[in-house]
With several copies, the nearest count.
Chain A
Amino acid sequence: MTNITMVQALNLALRQEMEKDDGIILLGEDVGVDGGVFRVTEGLIEKFGEQRVLDTPLAESGIVGMSIGMAAYGLRPVCEIQFSGFSYLSFHQIESHASRLRWRSQGRFHVPMVVRTPYGGGVRALEHHSESREAFYAHMPGLKMVIPSGPRIARALLVSAIRDPDPVIFFEPKALYRAFREEVPDEEETCPLGKSRLVLEGEDLTMISYGAMMRPSLDAASELKDKDGIRVEVIDLVTISPLDDELFVQSVKKTGRAMVIHEAPRSFGPGAEIVSRLVEKAFFYLEVPISRVTGFDILIPLFSRENYYLPNVQRIVRSARQLLKT
């Protein structure tokens, strides 16, 4: 049991899985000698050698495409795209191949690979280093899209993603990389893909979120409890796609009020699907409209203004109070 950051937790997952399975290969820009620009792969090239940790040329389609070939052969590549804002250079490899090879070959091949990539704002970074466009990948049949919200679950989720027989895109909330520590057991932990988690029980309102937005959501929940006596139920989606709608539907049937919180732009964002599932499966339980507290439909501004773009505790609290007023 150690008290570690998310970076360390992800590193632990990789290290322990690589020890168990020599089919796991890491590849990406700067993942070797440099240990990754966020140090998630630190020390792994020293431990596992250049044959298992590949510093690749600067080419995202190359990284993902090569991983697909490795995976088709039966290896378990875990590739890194340095920032999710550059994953679009490999978009066609993910859409047209990673998520289709099982289907195209009718089961002869499958693609047990993981694409790890940091996403989201809050680290005062340059353009293309702060976006949150998980919706692109959530709308790709054949692919799984997951996002952890803290060190412990990050470690467990990465282990499960690596072992999953299908391709998984693993968005890492970079704002959380070193934001806080959690106790993470030395022993193996897994986290089933396709299952969301109840993080806080409550009766009055359901907040549905994931990734870096779990923190402000939980903070907002506790402020609402303290100041307004409102008991919020908070759900961490963990897997964005295929979406687990059971838990949140059940919750909203109980609370009658729901909010979705994400930093992605609102329109055509992940929240829209959650709203739609609630409409489809809990419509007659809804007492008020579901509210979306999200990024705006603009490009996330450079860092001096990003805090106005990103949902924060205040915005969530305000929206929650409104829901309870009506």
Chain B
Amino acid sequence: MPRNKINISDEIEHLSVLNEKGQLDKDLEPEISETLLLNIHRTMLLGRRFDERLLNLQRQGRIGTFAPITGQEAAQLGAVAVLRSSDWMVPSFRETAAEIWRGRTMESLILYYSGFNEGGRIPDDMNNLPVCVPVATHLLHAVGLAWALGYRKKDDVVMTFFGDGATSEGDFHEGLNFAGVYRTPVIFVCQNNQWAISVPRSKQTRSQTLAQKALAYGIPGLQVDGNDLLAVYSAAKEAVERARSGGGPTLIECVTYRLMMHTTADDPKRYRKEEEVQEWVGRDPLPRFQKYLIENKKLLSKEKIDRLETEIKEEIQAAVERAEEQKSKLKEPLEMFDHVYAELPKNLKEQKAQLAGELSGNKKEDGHD
């Protein structure tokens, strides 16, 4: 065989259902129950408002650094909405909306962002792994979980989230390769929000799309308009069904945008133009989806949205208050020795005792005892 083109079986496609002008491609419209549509919408709105409230708390110094999700609600919720609760979600650090959808309470998020380890507690009945800060390193955990599901003959699947920047890490590569080799039921959802802190997508890699990186692992890859809830949902559904029926992993690139700062410690004005942001404001997933629910599905109205806004505001306020209350009960520092090992080893017993001594000493010195 001389110089011959090799046919790579897989194709990379781009999917869009409800475009940025709100025009619907009827042929591609997924079937989603009314309840589910309304639930998704509610969580999108909640995610948006919660972000705003967290920002506000952060600016007041009442919580620490956090990573806003505004603009990425469709990419997250379109994907997780396909999961059953017995399925697993393995988040990165920017999945507030997805976490809430999966059952994480707002107060636990506030607690976490207030620097309390207790905020990281995952309830026993929630199949999420905790937030993972080191970029891309959790993809392998998703693969291991998915392998275990297969080994235990469950038909649950694992969905994991990460950013465009994450695709440059070695662990992205090893994760997708292992998933391909073992055909594990895992859906890799890349939220390509165009920026990794100050580094634009174009500087992250020379590949034309992130979706095509799937070709390196012989697994399906698909690019979707990540601000189009219907497209994300359709892509995720296809991938989840494939995974559930033994067809193995899929890489989905959701093309979206981070409308706010990277984290509250970041100032995006340093590295990107306001015009770019405004362009993407025009592609905001929330009004687009609302328009669909109002005009196409007749499920919503201006008034209903207003009522929802009030409801959500109160819900958030209640969560903030619950979190404050919990915080006031969590001052005990000795708990920092917990959960390092199943049992406290001798050195930790000694050190815990030392700290306990110090604390009671302090109290004495402060005249509290």
Physical contact A–B (CB less than 8 Å): yes
A93→B137 contact, CB < 8 A: yes
- Give the residues in chain A near B351, CB-CB below 8 Å: 266, 296-298
B227 interface hit (Cβ, 8 Å)? no
B205 contacts partner chain A, Cβ-Cβ < 8 Å: yes
Interface string of A54-88 (1 = CB under 8 A from B): 11111111101111111111110100000001100
A78 to chain B, nearest CB (A): 13
In chain B, residues 113-172, which have Cβ atoms closer than 8 Å to a Cβ of chain A? Answer: 114-124, 129-149, 151-152, 165-166, 168-171
CB distance from A164 to the nearest CB of B (A): 8
Interface contact B271-A33, CB-CB below 8 Å: yes
Which of A67, A96, A104, A110 has the most chain B CB within a 10 Å cutoff? A104
Contact yes or no, B120 A105, CB < 8 A = yes
Interface size class of A (residues with CB under 8 A): 35 or more
Q: A106-B118, A109-B130, A124-B64 are in contact. List 15 more A-B contacts (CB 8 A).
A: A29-B196, A30-B198, A58-B196, A65-B140, A66-B147, A68-B140, A69-B144, A93-B137, A103-B339, A104-B131, A108-B121, A109-B122, A142-B341, A245-B347, A305-B336
Inter-subunit contact B342/A318 (CB<8 Å): no
On chain B, the residues within 8 Å of A303 by CB distance are 64, 115
- Docked Cα-Cα span, A70 to B138, in Å, equals 12
A296 to B358, CA, bound (A): 13
Q: List 26 A-B contacts (CB under 8 A).
A: A34-B198, A58-B166, A58-B168, A58-B169, A62-B177, A62-B178, A68-B140, A69-B144, A73-B145, A73-B149, A96-B137, A97-B141, A104-B120, A105-B121, A107-B338, A125-B65, A126-B93, A126-B133, A127-B131, A164-B342, A166-B341, A242-B345, A302-B115, A302-B116, A314-B362, A318-B358
Check if A179 is an interface residue, CB within 8 A of chain B.
no
Q: Check: A225 CB closer than 8 A to any chain B CB.
A: no
Question: A58 contacts which of B118, B132, B146, B165 (Cβ < 8 Å)?
Answer: B165
Q: Given contacts A125-B65, A243-B347, is CB(A33)–CB(B336) below 8 Å?
A: no
- In the assembled complex, how far is the CB of residue A292 from the closest CB belonging to chain B, in whole angstroms? 11
A198: interface (CB < 8 Å): no
Q: In the bound complex, how far is the Cα of B172 from the Cα of A62, in angstroms?
A: 9
| B147 partner residues in chain A, CB cutoff 8 A | 66, 69-70
Q: Is the CB of B115 within 8 A of A305?
A: yes
- Contacting pair A106 B168 (CB below 8 A): no
Chain B residues whose C-beta falls within 8 Å of the C-beta of A216 in the assembled complex: none
Known: A29-B199, A59-B174, A105-B120. A51 touches B168 (CB 8 A): no
A219 interface residue (CB < 8 Å to B): no
Q: A106-B120, A297-B348 are in contact. Are A65 and B196 (CB under 8 A)?
A: no
Complex CA gap A61/B171 in Å reads: 7
In the complex formed, the residue of A with least CB distance to B119 is: A302
Complexed CA–CA distance, A299 and B117 (Å)? 11
Given A25-B151, A126-B65, A142-B341, answer yes or no on A57-B177 (Cβ-Cβ < 8 Å).
yes
- Looking at the complex, which one of B169, B270, B330 makes contact with A35 (CB distance below 8 Å)? B270
Nearest residue (CB) in B for A22 is B151
A321 to B114, CA, bound (A): 35
B270 touches A65 (CB 8 A): no
CB distance from A309 to the nearest CB of B (A): 7
A246 close to B (CB within 8 Å): yes
User: Which residue of B is nearest A104, CB measured?
Assistant: B130
| Complex interface bits, A299-315 against B, C-beta within 8 A gives 1, otherwise 0 | 10111111011000011
Taking CB atoms, residues of chain A closer than 8 Å to B169 are 58-60, 89
Chain B residue numbers with a CB within 8 Å of A144 are: 341
Give the residues in chain B near A70, CB-CB below 8 Å.
Answer: 144-145, 147-148
What distance in Å separates the Cβ of B204 from its nearest Cβ neighbour in chain A? Answer: 5
A193 to B271, CA, bound (A): 36
Interface size on B, residues (CB 8 A): 83
CB contacts (< 8 Å) of A141 on chain B: these are: 340
Q: In the bound complex, what is the Cα–Cα distance between A71 and B198 (angstroms)? A: 26
Q: Are B168 and A128 in contact (CB under 8 A)?
A: no
Q: Are A89 and B170 in contact (CB under 8 A)?
A: yes
Contact between A267 and B347 (Cβ–Cβ < 8 Å)?
yes
* Residues in chain B near residue A103, CB distance under 8 A: 117, 339-340
Nearest 5 A-B pairs (CB), nearest first?
A69-B144, A65-B140, A303-B115, A34-B198, A242-B345
B43 → chain A closest CB, angstroms? 23
CA distance A324 to B64 in the complex (A): 40
Q: What separation, in Å, do the CA atoms of A85 and B119 have in the docked complex?
A: 21
Please tell me if A47 contacts chain B, counting CB pairs below 8 Å: no
Residues of chain A lying within 8 A (CB to CB) of residue B346: 194, 242, 244-246
User: Is there contact, CB below 8 Å, between B124 and A108?
Assistant: yes
Q: How far is the CA of A65 from the CA of B352 in the complex (A)?
A: 31
B282 within 8 A of A: no
